[in-house]
Amino acid sequence: MKPIRIAALVVAAAAVVAFAGVGRPDFAGGASTPSGGITVTGTGTVQSVPDQAQFSLGVQTNGPTAREALAANSERMRRVLAALFAAGVVKGDVQTQDVSVSKSYPGNGYSAANSVSVTIRQLAKAGSILDAASNAGANDIYGPTLTRSDQEGLQAKALGAAVDNARAKARVLAEAAGVRLGSVTAITEGGNQPVPVYEAAFAQRAPSAPIEPGKQQTSATVRLTFAIG
């Protein structure tokens, strides 16, 4: 009879467990606890006037042999660099982009090319600096890309404006839904970058090429989630 008594005890214990939750609220699914929140995307934009420009300056030469073409090119580029430095450009703002020698087609000679990236930090001097480089032998001038020297500060302002915009949107949604807006529970930053301003390439030896800085927009996007109070 002992096996029968043990089986009866097991059945009784199962019945107690089955009826233990009767009459109690269901907390397992979290139905009685608010979840989720209000998620919005905010954007912020800051306008500024560019205060520096970046150009690509190049020298192209030809020669009967690859060595002669490169030698002539190197000599002319040295003159261009000297003219840039004499015009006020610092060495840290000049960087070589490309050096190449190739067979000329049609013909039996060779063509050599050398180009540098130049950052001009005073836009008022850009025209005279380009003139100096052109007079020294630069025959490929492209740009400018106009930017701001304090870009990090502008990006921070744009992010702050984006957060304010997201918060304003969340308040409207909370009011419309009849709930109280809680604290921020999550923030995700977007990947917006400043919108550069481009101008057409400048003609070789153009006297005092005019440069109009215009305006630049620095934008930011954030995604915020607010708790519901």
* Cα R_g (the chain), whole angstroms: 34
Q: What is the pLDDT of residues 33-48, one digit of tens each?
A: 445 799 999 999 999 9
CA pair distance 95, 55, nearest whole angstrom: 11
3-class DSSP state for residue 90? coil
pLDDT digits 0-9 by tens, 85-95: 999 999 999 99
Confidence bin at 25 (pLDDT 50/70/90): very low
Mean pLDDT of 171-189: 95
Categorize the per-residue pLDDT at 9 as very low, low, confident or very high, splitting at 50, 70 and 90.
very low
Predicted pLDDT at 209: 66
SS3 (DSSP) at 14: helix
Q: How far apart are CA 53 and CA 212, in angstroms?
A: 11
E strands, the chain, are 38-48, 52-63, 94-103, 110-120, 140-147, 181-189, 197-198, 216-228
For residues 51 and 226, give the distance between their C-alpha atoms in angstroms, rounded to a whole number. Answer: 39
Percent of all residues in the chain with a pLDDT value above 90, rounded to a whole number: 68
Query: What was the pLDDT predicted at 229?
Result: 81
Contact 162, 44 (CB under 8 A): yes
pLDDT the model gives residue 195: 59
Confidence of residue 32 (pLDDT cuts 50, 70, 90): very low
pLDDT at position 164, please? Answer: 97
Q: What is the pTM of this model?
A: 0.64
Report pLDDT digits (tens) over 142-164: 999 999 999 999 999 999 999 99
Q: Is residue 78's pLDDT more than 80?
A: yes
In this predicted structure, the answer to whether residue 82 has a pLDDT above a threshold of 90 is: yes
Looking at residue 107, what is its pLDDT?
75
DSSP string for 134-181: HHHT--EEEEEEEE-TTHHHHHHHHHHHHHHHHHHHHHHHHHHHT--E
Q: What is the mean pLDDT of residues 215-225?
A: 93
Q: How many C-beta atoms surround the C-beta of residue 155 within 10 A?
A: 19
Q: What's the pLDDT tens digit per position in 104-123? A: 877 789 999 999 999 999 99
Domains along the chain? 38-48+151-195+216-228 (3.30.110.170), 52-147 (3.30.70.2970)
Residues making up the chain, counted from first to last: 229
- Which three-class secondary structure state does DSSP give residue 200? coil
Q: pLDDT band for position 134 (50/70/90)? A: very high
Please state, in angstroms and as integers, the Cα–Cα distance from residue 20 to each residue in 13, 112, 158, following that order: 11, 89, 57
